[in-house]
Structure formats: C-alpha cells, structure tokens
C-alpha cells in the first residue's frame, strides 16, 4: 500500500526552488523517487544538490514560463509533475502601493503560475499523457493581513486558479491541487521575523495550535502526497499547512 506514495518513475519541475519551501519540496520529491528539475532566479548555486537539474530564469519576463518548461523537458523528457511555487512579497502600505509593485506581484505570483501550467499541460496533452500540478498558495489566500493587499490578492487568485485549472484539465488526465502554507520560516520570512520584537513572534506562536512557526520541511509531505498515486482521486483541492493557525478564532493567552 505504501507504494502508492512513491514517485518512482515520475519527474517534476518545481518553480522557485533554489531555497526555502521550494527546495524542501524538491528534496522531498527526490526522496520519494522522482527525478527533479529545480528553478531559481539566479544561476545554479555552487553547493546546490547534485540530484537536481536546474534552470535559471526570471519569471517576471512574460516569455520565461514557456522557456522554462521547454528546458525542463529537455532535462527530463518524461516530466509529468509540476509544482508552481515561485512567488514573493512586494507590498507596502496600500496608500503607498505603486502600479509597478502591483504588476510585479501579479506577474510573478499569478501570471507565471498560469502560463507555466499552460505550457506544461500543452506538452502533456500533445503527448497524450496525464500528470499532476500543485500550486503553492498561502493562508493569505483565505485570510487577509495588514499591508499585504497585492500579496493577499495574488494568493487568493491562486486558490481559484487551482480550482479552475482542475475543472479545465480533468478530461486530459491532469490533476491540479494546491497547498496553502501558513507562517513558515524561510529566507524570505526570516528577515521579517527577526526584525520584529520577540513579542510579535510569541503572539503567533500562541495563535498556532501546534505552538511553533513552521519549517519548509513541514510543507513537503502534503506536496508529495498530492503528486503521488495515493492522491489519484483528488483534484481541485487545497491543503492548508499552518499548524492550526487559521483553525482557532482567538488563540491562547
């Protein structure tokens, strides 16, 4: 029965996987048996894991998603799994938000996810193969945060994009699901956490039912599950991975 959770014989492209959650996802898919192609904005880091293929490009470039997918298929012709994980945070106070920051958020967080998924799905459809797509959203896609209008909007869009793609691609044998991490300590969030007074972090730890901020590895298991045959009857779903952050209304004192 546990073989249902194996990814042996599969190959995956993970966007935004040079560090943080994306790298943890790559490690987990590799450990489950999948061939893995990682992606980052910069060239391959010197000490990047040897098990991974690597493609660098800026997904804010409208032509980048298709180019990335083409390169990934050259590295792994049997590619059948895609994890759209690339994204970042460019918000300021909404009264100070600029069109440039807003557009950059939507291009990287939403448009690149869609067009990467589109290019991937086109290839699978042409080859008459099924596959799996996992889109990384966030608990910000369900609950708002101060001074986070563009980011929250982008993550909410990814929640519905997951469901809409699931509807549109089901007849081609392509499943589409999502993961929604909560407060996870990554290179992106560490600066924010460490720059605040300790009481702020303590506040969140009291709100999180499991009493701790998550690590990238905490997110990986759900992604492996969704990519595996164990989830072969699941599509259009988003798994929230937040230690119970959004479950309790008030939290502990």
pLDDT of residue 1: 46
pLDDT of residue 196: 63
Tell me how many degrees the CA angle 134-168-141 measures, rounded to the nearest 5.
Answer: 45
pLDDT over 70 percentage in the chain: 97
pLDDT of residue 3: 82
Three-state secondary structure call for residue 229: helix
Hey, what CATH topology would domain 2-241 get? Rossmann fold (3.40.50)
Sheet holding 81-84, edge to edge: 52-56, 35-40, 11-14, 81-84, 131-136, 174-181, 238-241
Three-state secondary structure call for residue 112: helix
Q: pLDDT confidence of 232, banded at 50, 70, 90?
A: very high
Q: Tokens 């690149």 correspond to what residue?
A: 112
Per the CB < 8 A criterion, the answer to whether 55 and 75 are in contact is yes
Residues known to be catalytic: 151
Mean pLDDT of 37-64: 96
Mean pLDDT of 78-89: 97
Three-state secondary structure call for residue 23: helix
Mean pLDDT of 177-187: 93
Q: pLDDT confidence of 4, banded at 50, 70, 90?
A: confident
Region of poorest pLDDT, from 110-119, 179-188, 200-209, 215-224: 200-209
pLDDT digits (tens, 9 = 90+) for 93-142: 999 999 999 999 999 999 999 999 999 999 999 999 999 999 999 999 99
Note the residue count of the chain: 253
Domain ranges of the chain: 2-241
pLDDT over 90 percentage in the chain: 87
pLDDT of residue 251 exceeding 70, the answer is yes
pLDDT of residue 143 exceeding 70, the answer is yes
Cα gap 136→181, rounded to integer Å = 8
Mean pLDDT of 206-223: 95
């Amino acid at each position: 029965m546990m073989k249902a959770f194996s990814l042996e014989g599969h190959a995956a492209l993970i966007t935004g996987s040079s560090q943080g959650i994306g790298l943890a996802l790559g490690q987990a898919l590799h450990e489950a048996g999948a061939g893995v192609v990682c992606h980052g904005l910069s060239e391959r880091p010197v000490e990047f894991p040897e098990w991974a293929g690597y493609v660098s490009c800026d997904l804010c470039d409208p032509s980048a998603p298709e180019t990335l997918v083409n390169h990934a298929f050259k590295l792994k012709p049997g590619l059948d799994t895609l994890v759209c994980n690339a994204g970042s945070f460019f918000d300021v106070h909404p009264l100070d938000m600029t069109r440039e920051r807003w557009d950059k958020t939507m291009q990287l967080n939403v448009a690149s996810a869609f067009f990467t998924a589109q290019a991937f799905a086109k290839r699978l459809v042409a080859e008459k193969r099924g596959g799996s797509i996992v889109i990384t959203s966030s608990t910000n896609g369900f609950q708002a945060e101060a001074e986070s209008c563009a980011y929250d909007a982008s993550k909410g869009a990814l929640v519905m994009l997951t469901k809409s793609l699931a509807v549109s691609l089901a007849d081609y044998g392509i499943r589409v699901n999502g993961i929604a991490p909560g407060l996870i300590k990554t290179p992106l969030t560490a600066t924010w956490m460490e720059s605040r007074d300790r009481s702020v972090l303590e506040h969140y730890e009291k709100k999180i039912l499991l009493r701790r901020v998550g690590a990238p590895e905490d997110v990986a298991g759900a992604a492996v599950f969704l990519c595996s045959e164990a989830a072969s009857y699941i599509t259009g779903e988003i798994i929230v991975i937040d230690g119970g952050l959004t479950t309790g209304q008030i939290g502990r004192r």
